[in-house]
Structure 1
């Protein structure tokens, strides 16, 4: 099992807690459908506002299992992609898309069941001037993203796990998950335990 696969069943909330909430993308970046999840290595894409030609090159150059993480400076007026481009990305094995911008062709994109995390949807297309950079450090949703960082997204949002601290984050997140599960099991349906827990927390 690869290191990335060990993160699959850990909620983003636990991963966030393991990093003191410092590597969460802005909460405006949401899954297109809340059932969508994504995990994979970041393939960062830096695009100018309103231009997505280099996004096509990113689809071609990214490796299967990569997550395209796109910096378009938060612009949500022009879509960087629709169902046609995302369908190609899916066919080539790309794990998903995270963008601080918008997509279009909403129904078609949802029908693909391809993980998309974005600020919203729009009707306007991008131009094709070809500016931008691929596989370089970027900022997306207020968080630094470097090539190869681990990207995890679910219904609650997206977190970035820098490669240098992956093992540490995994250990802490698993501990947090175990703690949460034990806490729920302890108080579930038990009035006395709930009151005891609340009294304990309020007395701190």
Structure 2
């Protein structure tokens, strides 16, 4: 039997957003480095001081394979808190991907890793290593509260957070939404007549 987080994998974040009534999506500044990358998994949360990546290194050591690191980097973009070496460690440790409200560097090297990274910006300067950060605590990433164990789903459109206490309900609503969208697509796409049929119905015209 598939884990519920696996059932979310590949579902459009747009449909999940509809199920959540337009809430719980991270702001538009956080996007994937590679638009082909998709993620869906449990949040392993990391709270770090701006520009310091010690907490990320600790998280890579302590997270379980398949976890997603969700990092509150305070939106700070003048120092990169992950580069290709650190993210290579994460990939080797079995981390599914990282969502970072902060900056990365070594863009080409990260592309070559083929490791899902959702981030706010890229810069050149290296991180600090002063403070240990906090692991598995509630954080705010991209303007959304994230608790340890929440389901995180990401694709080319962005990242959305499914609260773990609502995950089964939201999965059910999302699947129903996708089914209805597919039925609408089949009925109203493909010709001028079908397109006008939909639009006339939308505006109450015969």
Interval containing the TM-score (normalised by the shorter chain): over 0.9
TM-score, scaled to structure 2: 0.96
More moved, 112-121 vs 191-200:
191-200
Match of 2:82 in 1: 81
Count of equivalent residues: 204
Match of 2:130 in 1: 129
Q: Once the 2 structures are TM-superposed, how far is the Cα of residue 159 of structure 1 from its aligned partner?
A: 0.5
Match of 1:67 in 2: 68
Unaligned runs of 5+ in 1: none
Distance 1:63 1:8 in 2: 18
Question: Once the two structures are superposed, what CA deviation does each residue of 1:96-149 show, in whole Å capped at 9, x if it has no partner?
Answer: 000111110000001111000001211111111024211100000010100000
Match of 1:149 in 2: 150
Match of 2:163 in 1: 162
Give 3-state SS (helix, strand or coil) of 1:80's partner. Answer: strand
Question: Once the two structures are superposed, what CA deviation does each residue of 1:140-163 show, in whole Å capped at 9, x if it has no partner?
Answer: 001010000001000000000011
Distance 2:75 2:27 in 1: 10
Give 3-state SS (helix, strand or coil) of 2:22's partner. Answer: coil
Distance 1:73 1:202 in 2: 45
Match of 2:182 in 1: 181
Decide whether the 8 Å contact of 2:64 with 2:94 is kept in 1.
Answer: yes
Question: Once the two structures are superposed, what CA deviation does each residue of 1:14-53 show, in whole Å capped at 9, x if it has no partner?
Answer: 0010001110001110000111111110001001111111
Q: Does 1:191 align with 2:192?
A: yes
Q: Which runs of 4+ in 1 moved over 2 A?
A: none
Q: Within 5 Å, give how 1:18-97 maps onto structure 2.
A: 18-97=19-98
Distance 1:9 1:63 in 2: 21
Question: Once the two structures are superposed, what CA deviation does each residue of 1:34-75 show, in whole Å capped at 9, x if it has no partner?
Answer: 111111100010011111112110110111000000001111
More moved, 54-63 vs 184-193:
184-193
Distance 2:155 2:80 in 1: 22
Distance 2:34 2:185 in 1: 27
TM-score, scaled to structure 1: 0.97
